[in-house]
Amino acid sequence: MRDNLNTLLSPERLEKLRQNGVMIFDVDDTLLARRGRFSKNDQIFSESPAAVSIPLLLNAGVRVCVITGHGWAQLEKRFVLPLDKEISKLFPENRDEILRRFFVYANRGATKIIRENGYYKEETVYGSEFSFDETDLIRLREILERLKDTFIEDFAKRKGWYLENFPEFNSEELPPEILEREKVVLGLRPIPSESHCEKNAVESPRRRLFLLGCELIKNAGLDEKYEIAQSGKSTLEITRREVSKKAAFRDLISGIAKEEGISPETVEESSVYVGDEFSPGGNDYVISQSFPRCLCLSVTSAEQENVFSLRDFFELEGIPAASALAARIIKFLT
Ligand SMILES: [Mg+2]
């Protein structure tokens, strides 16, 4: 059932994308590489060929949206402001018109960003339903403190085991810290996980803390409102249960539908989503499950029946695959 890219991305299909759809990109390891054992920092806009092709895609008339698991402050610095600057440089006359086609959601969809009078800011009405209640925040923080102490104690007890089994983990970043982002995410990082060791070699310390976290949230009577998740390679995150890329995607589609006077279904079937984590538990999984009309493209393996792997088309993966896709669309549409 392998449709080829020429059919999936035929000129008619791309024209439909431009007219009625939106091209959505995951950020980490789709547009920008995440920090690893050997690269200390997350990649920034100018370092990624996929990221620098976004201004050209926008200029070709395609709506582009990024939905990231990261916080807004980080995304703004790493991606959005440099992109804005690049558009001003390349297309000074059309800057505002081009940027009206650009959409941003951060914190796995809990934060919507809008551009007003040339400045980016959080859209407060959208975000309010995902914010922590103040009193809950204190108790959730205590739960993360407890997870942190549990980890530190265990690490001190068997440091050798950690160093031997998780060679990809940078223990110089320890002790883990509790982070709070834009009133919608509480996190703890870094904690070693299965990403830092050979596949299934040993039990993941992060998974153990995750299970303990689930139990503590339940015991506190907060499990109907909040959930803990394993995010990225080394983070644990607590958010409102409703937070997922699904909420952002739905909001995006309905906004475009309203503006264009078409149905949300038309927008959905005209759109393309590009990500790297479509397997269960990955943050792109929910898109392929909840929006079956949307064309889902993976820069890694396909993993789900309705997801197509760009590896099969371009023999490239990761950021170069996203870049090749963008180049192809730009070529067709300009
Ligand atoms: Mg990703």
Please write the tens of the pLDDT for every residue from 112-131.
999 999 999 999 899 888 99
- How many A from CA of 32 to the centre of ligand 1? 9
| Per-residue burial over 190-212, b = 16 or more CB atoms within 10 Å of its CB, e = otherwise | bbbbbbbbeeeeeebbbeebbeb
Question: What CATH architecture is 134-240?
Answer: 2-Layer Sandwich (3.30)
Q: Is 257 exposed, middle or buried, given 0-12, 13-18 or 19+ CB atoms closer than 10 A?
A: middle
CB-based contacts of 189: which residues, under 8 Å, 6+ apart?
176, 177, 179, 232, 234, 235, 236
Please provide the average confidence, as pLDDT, over all residues in the chain: 93
pLDDT at residue 319 greater than cutoff 80: yes
Q: Is 287 exposed, middle or buried, given 0-12, 13-18 or 19+ CB atoms closer than 10 A?
A: buried
pLDDT at residue 31 greater than cutoff 60: yes
- How many A from CA of 27 to the centre of ligand 1? 6
Query: How sure is the predictor about 198, in pLDDT bands with cuts at 50, 70 and 90?
Result: confident
What is the DSSP secondary structure assignment for residue 174, as one 8-state letter? P
For residues 151 and 213, is the Cβ–Cβ distance under 8 A? no
Instruction: Give the rounded percent of residues in the chain with a pLDDT score beyond 90.
Output: 81
Query: How sure is the predictor about 4, in pLDDT bands with cuts at 50, 70 and 90?
Result: confident
pLDDT at residue 38 greater than cutoff 70: no
Q: Supply the pLDDT for residue 279.
A: 87
Residues in the chain: 334
As a whole number of Å, the end-to-end CA separation of the chain is 30
Cross-strand pairs, 26: 67
pLDDT at residue 327 greater than cutoff 80: yes
- How many A from CA of 83 to the centre of ligand 1? 19
- How many A from CA of 276 to the centre of ligand 1? 5
Range 24-43 average pLDDT: 82
Kindly report which listed range (52-56, 157-161, 228-232, 290-294) carries the lowest average pLDDT score: 228-232
- How many A from CA of 212 to the centre of ligand 1? 25
- How many A from CA of 69 to the centre of ligand 1? 8
All CATH 3.30.70 domain ranges of the chain, comma separated, are 134-240
pLDDT at residue 36 greater than cutoff 70: no
Give 37 or 6, the one with higher predicted confidence. 6
Task: Mark out the alpha helices in 81-193 (DSSP H runs).
Answer: 81-90, 95-99, 124-128, 134-157, 159-165
Range 237-244 average pLDDT: 93
pLDDT at residue 103 greater than cutoff 50: yes
pLDDT at residue 62 greater than cutoff 80: yes
- How many A from CA of 28 to the centre of ligand 1? 4
Axis-axis angle for helices 319-333, 11-20 (nearest 10): 90
Q: What CA–CA distance (Å, rounded) separates 260 from 239?
A: 33
Instruction: For domain 5-129+244-333, give its CATH number from 1.10.287.1400, 3.40.50.1000, 3.40.50.300, 1.10.3720.10.
Output: 3.40.50.1000
Specify the 3-state DSSP secondary structure of 300. Answer: coil
Pairing state of beta strands 185-189 and 177-181? antiparallel
Range 208-232 average pLDDT: 96
Query: How sure is the predictor about 2, in pLDDT bands with cuts at 50, 70 and 90?
Result: low
Q: Supply the pLDDT for residue 1.
A: 44
Q: What CA–CA distance (Å, rounded) separates 249 from 105?
A: 9
- How many A from CA of 67 to the centre of ligand 1? 9
| CA atoms in the 13 A half-sphere facing the CB of 39 | 10
Q: Supply the pLDDT for residue 3.
A: 66
- How many A from CA of 294 to the centre of ligand 1? 18
184, 215, 245, 262 from 242: Cα distances, Å? 11, 19, 10, 26
- How many A from CA of 50 to the centre of ligand 1? 13
pLDDT at residue 40 greater than cutoff 70: no
- How many A from CA of 102 to the centre of ligand 1? 19
- How many A from CA of 31 to the centre of ligand 1? 8
Instruction: Give the rounded percent of residues in the chain with a pLDDT score beyond 70.
Output: 97
Range 145-164 average pLDDT: 96
For residues 110 and 96, is the Cβ–Cβ distance under 8 A? no
Q: Supply the pLDDT for residue 8.
A: 87
All CATH 3.40.50.1000 domain ranges of the chain, comma separated, are 5-129+244-333
Q: Supply the pLDDT for residue 39.
A: 59
Cross-strand pairs, 24: 65, 273
Pairing state of beta strands 307-309 and 295-298? parallel
Question: Which two structure tokens, joined as six digits, stand for 124?
Answer: 């407060």
Question: Which two structure tokens, joined as six digits, stand for 118?
Answer: 């040339």
Query: How sure is the predictor about 200, in pLDDT bands with cuts at 50, 70 and 90?
Result: low
- How many A from CA of 283 to the centre of ligand 1? 7
pTM score: 0.88
